[in-house]
Each structure stands twice: as C-alpha cells, then as structure tokens.
Amino acid sequence: MSIQVFGTPVSRGVAIGRAVLVASSRVDVAHYFVGADRIEPEIERLRNARNAVAAELAALKNELPPEAPHELAALLDVHLMLLHDESLIGATKAWISDRHYNAEWALSAQLEVLARQFDDMEDAYLRERKADVEQVVERLLRGLRLSAAGPAALGPAVAQAASDFGGEDPLVLVANDVAPADMLQFKRSIFTGFVTDVGGRTSHTAIVARSLDIPAVVGAREASRLIRQDDWVVIDGDAGVVIVDPSPIVLDEYRFRQRQSELERARLDRLRHTPAVTLDGQAVELLANIELPGDAAGALAAGAVGVGLFRSEFLFMNRGGSLPGEEEQFEAYRDAVVALQGLPVTIRTVDVGADKPLERSAPDHRYDHGLNPALGLRAIRWSLAEPSMFRQQLRAILRASAYGKVRILIPMVAHLSEVRMIFEALVRARQQLDDAGRAYSHVEVGAMVEVPAAALMIDRLLQHFDFVSVGTNDLIQYTLAIDRADEAVAHLYDPWHPAVLQLLHHTISRANARGRAVSVCGEMAGDAAFTEMLLAMGLRSFSMHPARIASIKQRVLRADTRLLSSHLTRVLEADHPGEALRLALQGGRAPQ
C-alpha cells in the first residue's frame, strides 16, 4: 500500500527510484555498480573478507584468558555463526550478482533488511541480537576496506561503474542523517534523489544536497523507518513529500511532471550567457556558491560572473584529525581562481562548528561541539582561537591572488575586537609571505553579516571592510533563535519574518549609501520567491548554487526596480510581507 511521508523540500524537482537505505554511520561506505565481468571477483572479495574475519574471531577466542567470563566465548561463537549464516552472506552475494552492487554496498543493504526483521521480533532477547549482526557487518566492512581503494576513490568509481552498467533502475538515497562532508561524496554519484529524517531547509546537509541539483527532502522524520530497502519511492522536491510504493496513476502523474521540469530546465538553459539586467536597465551580478575547487568550472558554465562564496571548510573535514597545510590549501584556491579565468573568487575563511563538525562522529555528529554549538566556537571564533592555523589559511589565500582576482570573506563577525585581530593576522600573514619572497596581489577583505549584532552595527563594520555579504541562513537562525538544522522548529524558520527583513534592508541600504559592495550569499539569494524583494531593497549582487542562476536570472530580466522600490515601505511594514509583495506585484507589474 502506498504511503506518504512529509518533510521539508530543499531541492526542486521530482525523483523516482528504488530506495537505498544507508545507516548514518555507514554513509561513507562506497556505493557503485560492478560490471558483469566484475561480479565473480567482487563475490571473491566478500568471501576473502569473511574468511579473514572468521580467522580473526577464532584467534580472539583462542587467546581468551582462562578467567574471562564464559559469555565472551559464547558471543564470539555467535559472531562466527552469523558470519557463515546464509541470511547474511548468501543474501549479500545475491545483491552483488542480481543487482550489481559492490560488496560494501551489498552488505549494508542486507544489514538494513536484517535490522528490520530484528526490530519486528516480539522476543526482546532475539531483538537485541541485531547488535551482533551490526558488529559482524562492521568487521566485514573493515575487512573489505583493506582490500579496496576505499571511499576516497568513490567519485570517479561511481561515475565510471554506473555508466558501464546501464540496466539498473534509478536509485534514491534514504538515511536518518548525512553529515555535510559525507553529502559531498555523492557529487557525480548514482543517486537521483535524497531523503533524510532530520535537518532543516538551510542545514548544511540540505545546502550540499541542493548543490547536487537533484530533488531532496529533509526532516522527513520517520522516512528511514517507513521506507524499506528497494521500495519504489517518489521524491517530490517541490512539495516536500515522499511517496512510498506509488500507485500507477500517481507514478504517471509524477513522470509527466518530471518531463515538464526537464523541458523547463532546457528552456532556462538558454539564458545562461544572457547578461542579468532588469527591465529598467539595472545590471545585477549573479555569483556562485561553491564547496570545492572542482565546482568552479561548473559555476562558470552555469553563467556565474564569479564566485561569491567558496565554503573553504569542506577542505578541512573528515581528515582524521589533521588539517590541510598551506601548500594543499594554496593549490585548491589557486585551482578555483584559475578555473574562473579572471572573474573574482570570494574565499571564505574556514567556518566549522555547529552543523559542520570537522569530524563525523556518529551517532549524533551535530552536537559534539560544546553545549550549544551554533552559539559556540565556530567560524571566525575558531580561527582566532587557532592563530597559526588562521594565518596559514590567510597565506594560502593571499598566494592564490597571484593567479587572478581573489577576495577574502570572514564568517560570523560580531565584535570589533575580532575585526582588529583579523586585520592584525592579515598584516602578519602578508609579512610572512614577503619574508619568504612569495608573490601575492591586492585582496579585498569582506565580512559576512550573519548575526544581528553585525547587521545593527553595519556602519562600524563598513569602516573596516571593503565589502559585506549577508549570510541569511545564519542571520535568520540567530535573529529568530531557531536552530537551522533542527526539523522540530523548521516551521518557525521564517525568512519573511519582518525582523529579518528589517535587518537585511538596513544592511543593504547602509552599504549602498556608503558605496560599498554588498551581496547576499545565503539560500535566499537563490530562491526566486525573494528576488523581487531583494531587488527592491537595492541589492544588485546575489550568490547562489550554480544550478539556481538561470531561474534567478529569469526573474531579474522581468523585474522593474523602480516599480519594486515603490512597494518596499508597504511590504516592510506589513504583518505578512510575502503576501503583501505578491499582492503589490499583481496590482502593477511592469509590462513584459
């Protein structure tokens, strides 16, 4: 029977495919297809891992000291028995031979099936045996990891293997949660849609999902419990609905919508290289947000006239405790700068903390940074607490400026004491480069306005910084006291809230009055519902996921800023500004 699960839409469009359930702690397991000629070797790899784990367990048992509790030996026996159980190994082989899954994926798929069977058992003792199966699978995965290139090689492996094996149904990923850094590994992957139980619209997991430009729903609470491995699933990324086991009529309807959005996409594609100018001749700069240097070429191809936000923290994540050195960072920044061919690249200094931890640490990776991580040591606070790391990053960014136009952006500035320390660090970083005879050019320095304090003291900040960029994702979070990653309060996360709009308007108009560049790089910039509002406030620079540029450009091309500005006061004073703007525009849109 068909069921529906509701969540928060984060990335538009419709995806239809079979569910691949992935436990949060296993999202780094490689997922790729193996061609027909690789099936036997893949089963052999599984067999070898099983034999190695069996030998390991037998040795453990032999080495148990005589005084060890006898439950320990019994437990090892249970694990050995599970290792040879057909329901684990036999069924895993079937996933490999029938579905062409690689061994790690086949094993986690089968674990999900078994876990569900255990969860449904009446007997509490038997139910608890699920933990034993999980432990055995963990050992097997470790064994397999030793005999494979590992998840680091996942990107190209996925693309290559998927194209070798064309007969498979489309797949959608279903997980309780996926850490932002793990989400990145799904770039160029086989999944055509995502569903997660947790997360809000501007959680970083959602942001990365959106950058993949495939339909996604987050905060769907029970999804990973209600959806079973291999179920047919429709993800409606516009409405935030997931339909499990859809009826043929529903499927037809969604297939139709899928084709419509493909046509719409192709139509928008034609705008890629059209300059973004409003009907009344106002030029608007549409920039790209990127996570990795490899995204830069795609940004250019999508028609971006520069990078407005390079989230450098993704270079710092999941590195097992080590941080990228100056050379590695320099190469990454330089690659992005070279790819942009003279267009500006705005590199944000590392913004870790809150829902972007440096390390994934299951089960709940979001809360391992202090008591209240969103209010804790994140972003520039962390950088200033690690001065040599910060100077190292500044040196790497400055060096990249020898290859093109670079701007530095500082996240979460809130205190003037931070401003002083930032500029001192820059002076020292430049001095160190001079001493080492390294080349660098002039680099503008900007502040992100993403806490209300920064918006309220924008005039003071503008005395120090060359430009500002409004991070609306955090500005909304901190103005309304709503954790942006928490689905329980997602309904209160309201970008149209009059207080948010006032802070935005104040920031944009003060920057314009002082002749300083101002941009918006939060998700609002790529949401067409806000384009007219932001234009009315005087914004002329928007930074967003490359995939959103064409839609926003279409909005800009149809806008008349004189008309929009005439509605601004009324809209800002309304109790429901979104509604007020819609009514105003209906009453008097400029001729098209």
Rounded to whole angstroms, what are the CA distances from 95 to 18, 101, 150, 473? 14, 6, 19, 41
* Angle, in degrees to the nearest 10, between helices 39-62 and 103-119: 60
> Are 424 and 387 within 8 A, CB to CB?
no
- Asked if 308 touches ligand PEP (CB under 6 A), the answer is no
Q: How far apart are CA 441 and CA 291, in angstroms?
A: 24
Q: Nearest 5°: phi and psi at 51?
A: -65, -40
Clarify whether 415 is annotated catalytic: no
Contact segment (CB under 5 A) with Mg ion among 114-122, 188-196, 317-325, 470-478 equals 470-478
Per-residue contact string for residues 351-390; x = within reach of ligand PEP by CB under 6 A: x---------------------------------------
Encoded one letter per residue, x for contact with Mg ion by CB under 5 A and - for no contact, window 474-503 reads x-----------------------------
Q: Which does 472 bind (CB under 5 to 8 A by kind): Mg ion, ligand PEP, none?
A: ligand PEP
Q: Which window, 21-29, 267-275, 456-464, 468-476, contacts ligand PEP (CB under 6 A)?
A: 468-476
Closer to ligand PEP by CB, 473 or 507: give it: 473
Whole-angstrom Cα distance, residue 96 to residue 33?
9
Q: How many residues does the chain have?
A: 592
> Catalytic: 464?
no
CB 183 → Mg ion: shortest distance, Å?
Answer: 17
Distance spanning both ends of the chain, measured CA to CA: 47
Q: Which of 240, 471, 495, 538 binds Mg ion (CB under 5 A)?
A: 471
Which lies closer to ligand PEP via its Cβ, residue 24 or residue 312?
Answer: 312
Structure letter (DSSP) for residue 353:
B
Half-sphere exposure (CA, 13 Å, Cβ side) for 210?
29
Question: Does 471 sit near ligand PEP (CB under 6 A)?
Answer: yes
Q: How far apart are CA 278 and CA 282, in angstroms?
A: 5
Least distance (Å) from ligand PEP to the CB of residue 296?
A: 17
CB 119 within 8 A of CB 127: yes
Give whichever of 329 and 473 is closer to ligand PEP, judged by the CB atom: 473
483 binds, among Mg ion, ligand PEP, none (CB under 5 to 8 A by kind): none
311 binds, among ligand PEP, Mg ion, none (CB under 5 to 8 A by kind): ligand PEP
State the Cα–Cα distance between residues 429 and 445, nearest whole angstrom. 14
Residue 446 lies near Mg ion (rule: CB under 5 A): no
Residue 332: CB atoms within 10 A of its CB come to: 21
Hey, what are 218's tokens? Answer: 């987050």
Q: How far apart, in whole angstroms, are the C-alpha atoms of residue 229 and residue 174?
A: 9
Pick one of ligand PEP, Mg ion, none as the site partner of residue 24 (Cβ within 5 to 8 A by kind).
none
Q: Does 236 bind Mg ion (CB under 5 A)?
A: no
Q: Which helix (H) or strand (E) holds 124?
A: helix 124-128
Stretch that binds ligand PEP, among 8-16, 387-395, 465-473, 507-515 (CB under 6 A): 465-473
Q: Which among 53-61, 219-227, 437-445, 470-478 is the span making contact with ligand PEP, rule CB under 6 A?
A: 470-478
Please state the closest distance from residue 214 (CB atom) to ligand PEP, in A: 19
Q: Which residue of the set 204, 365, 369, 567 is catalytic?
A: 204
Tokens standing for 161? 């293997």
> Interface residues with ligand PEP (CB under 6 A)?
207, 309, 311, 351, 450, 471-474, 521-522
